[in-house]
Amino acid sequence: MFICVNLRPNFMSDISIRQANPDDAKPLTDLAYTTFWDAFAAHPKNAPDDLNHYMRQAFNVEQIAAELADEKNIFLLAEIEGELAGYSKLILDNIEPGVTATQPVELSRLYSQQKFLGKGVGQTLMDACFKRAKNDGRDVMWLGVWEYNPRAQRFYEKNGFRIVGSHTFLLGSDPQTDLLMQKEL
């Protein structure tokens, strides 16, 4: 089991990180659904039907349980005082054209609850992802970030990621452009 505790005194409480297990399928589904909705539902570029279609497909207990069971996926959960505050999903050996790596890891998701934004959850998860990737011998971490999400882009740039291309992310029936970013580990 992978555990990391952040003892940064500037934040409201300690943030603990642990790897998700099959018993986490339901709470992780709820967290994933809520955080994705909070991040993207209000954006005028996202049609409600497309958003709802994608979310029904991506964030149901059966889908999350299947992802948890797949050894290529690593979910890390951030908790504050026993409450799920955020999560990340890494995918081993996944790569896109434009990403240069021999041992890649994709940072597929990194989300925190709205009430914990600015409290260090995202950075603590990011640090835990870097640590896990390095411990697993990964040479590059990469991700796709929506072209209309400048806050996330700045966060990733601050963490050493650089743009190496783009790809299409299908949100329901809406083909959207994600910027591909990578960081050498």
- In angstroms, the CA 34 to CA 119 distance is 18
Classified as helix, coil or strand, 34 is helix
**In terms of Cα–Cα distance, which of 158, 144, 48 is closest to 98?**
144
Q: Which amino acid is at 62?
A: E
Backbone angles phi, psi at 94, to 5 degrees: -100, 140
Per-residue pLDDT, 85:
98
Q: Which amino acid is at 71?
A: E
Model confidence, pTM: 0.92
Per-residue pLDDT, 122:
97
pLDDT along the chain (185 residues), means of 10: 45 83 98 98 96 97 98 98 97 96 98 95 98 98 98 97 97 97 98
Cα 92 to chain centroid distance, Å, stands at 13
Per-residue pLDDT, 53:
97
Per-residue pLDDT, 11:
46
Per-residue pLDDT, 7:
42
Per-residue pLDDT, 13:
60
